[in-house]
A and B are shown apart, each in its own frame.
Chain A
């Protein structure tokens, strides 16, 4: 009985959590301009989205492209910067280590709007004209701390002697780095990259303040402007549904693989 209520509670929460997503998905199959009015089944929105022939607004595709481009660059740079930094921090001691860790925590504790406003003021102060560069720099700022935090535990788990041993056995520092350090850190770097990538994809506030006036839109700012005008671009519905499906499939693959790895480990 208890078990039944526990399960029921979880499922009720999940149903509420997913209701808006299902709502979007259902109405992605009708051509109405307004979300929520059903005008008969039609896959036309999907066709428009995939062929790029929107009912008027083609800048949606540009926004998607910008979002991906910014996320890839920001995630790649943050992963590099964050990994190198993590190795450094790991080898630091005492007060210096505490200070750097504290600085690293600031962008994570700060709400988006503070990060956004403070960077906006920085760029204004430096007379830096805002656009792609400033958005990417801003994204690197709030993404890197997460990379550092995902790489640090891997460094702690690592046996410090392995690297030294490689050097003693005649490896150059570059070889030791490539053959010993990087493979050990790779899982941390990968999860850091994924984290940075998703943080960047989902960001709204920071982009909003640092994108300037050149008409640069990411998906978030596109949706914001669109919604303030009233009437979302209908093609956003199939787009969101597709994104949702992609994530679902990715998660399933990851989970299945993890399960299999676990089972392999258990069998051993």
Chain B
């Protein structure tokens, strides 16, 4: 029986080679100068580079706003969809997921074109709209998943025991659905910070996000600085996953 655990060996080797080694390389490049010598210069450059810092701040801002809007818009939608009283068919949730199968760049470009046709100037507002548009399904689905599997009797019991429906919702339903919200946040927040291309198309290149400067540096062969920026992002990912540690077991809740 225990011999079959060896079956994972090829995959472990694969993971080491294509996941662990590349991440180590990101760190190595981040702490090297162009000649391959050790340096802290790349990170120092980031913390003194006003453009990189402000791009970083803007990305965090947009990502927070996007995540917030996705929760605000997505939670009620997920709640309605999970509620048998309002929605009887599973088809509606499929309708929310289906646009994700169409190439994201193409959808984004069409959105941008729609805005220009309506005479809206491309900028911060259109960027946020486009981001919410792209990421809303990623928020709705995990919340829906948790809500629809949730035992409704808890909330009903709370109401029976004299709580107002509103209070029962806040004290029972919302806390129980938190795993769905967290995995939604995971799927919206970091990807927003790191998008490139989408932000450019939605603002005519006026606002760029953190992903774009990583891409620009890598593409103009400033690998070391690009790696340092990627390293900064890895640290933030590390922090966000630490936050999520308590609910580790539930992360798989999401996705299709």
Contact = CB atoms under 8 A, between A and B. Distances in A.
A and B touching (Cβ–Cβ under 8 A): yes
Contact of B11 (A84, A205, A255): A84
B99 A109 contact: no
A107 to B, nearest CB: 6
A20 B73 CA distance: 19
Interface string A69-101: 000000000000110110111011100100010
Given A88-B4, A223-B105, A117 B96 contact: no
Contacts of B44: none
Interface in B81-135: 81, 83, 85-87, 90-92, 94-96, 98-107, 109-111, 113-114, 116-117, 133
Contacts of A146: 255
A256 B136 CA distance: 26
A109 B25 contact: no
A13 B139 CA distance: 13
Given A81-B10, A118-B25, A141 B109 contact: no
Given A3-B86, A21-B110, A23-B113, A91 B18 contact: no
Interface residues of B, number: 83
B77 to A, nearest CB: 6
Please indicate which of the listed interface residues B109, B111, B237, B241 has the most CB atoms of chain A within 10 Å of its own CB.
Answer: B109
A88 B9 contact: yes
Contact of A103 (B20, B73, B101, B252): B20
Name B's interface SS: helix
A124 interface: yes
A122 interface: yes
Contact of B256 (A24, A35, A195): A195
Contacts of B29: 121
Given A36-B117, A112-B194, A117 B26 contact: yes
Interface string B23-60: 10110010000000000000000000000000000000
Nearest to A221: B105
A114 interface: yes
A209 B241 CA distance: 25
B226 A117 contact: yes
Contacts of B215: 113, 208
Contacts of A17: 96, 99, 133, 136-137
B224 to A, nearest CB: 10
B101 A109 contact: no
Interface string B186-204: 1000110111110001000
B96 A14 contact: yes
Interface residues of A, number: 79
Interface stretch (A40-48, A49-57, A239-247): A239-247
Contacts of A248: 98
Contacts of B233: 111, 113-114
A87 B4 contact: yes
B10 A114 contact: no
A112 B25 contact: no
B184 interface: no
A204 B2 contact: no
Interface in A16-34: 16-21, 23-24
Contacts of B101: 198, 201-202, 243-244, 247
A115 to B, nearest CB: 8
13 contacts: A82-B11, A88-B4, A89-B8, A91-B4, A92-B8, A100-B8, A117-B214, A138-B18, A148-B11, A202-B104, A205-B211, A220-B103, A244-B102
Interface of B: 1-2, 4-12, 14-16, 18-23, 25-26, 29, 73, 76-77, 80-81, 83, 85-87, 90-92, 94-96, 98-107, 109-111, 113-114, 116-117, 133, 136-137, 186, 190-191, 193-197, 201, 211, 214-215, 218, 223, 226-227, 230, 233-234, 237, 241, 251-252, 255-256
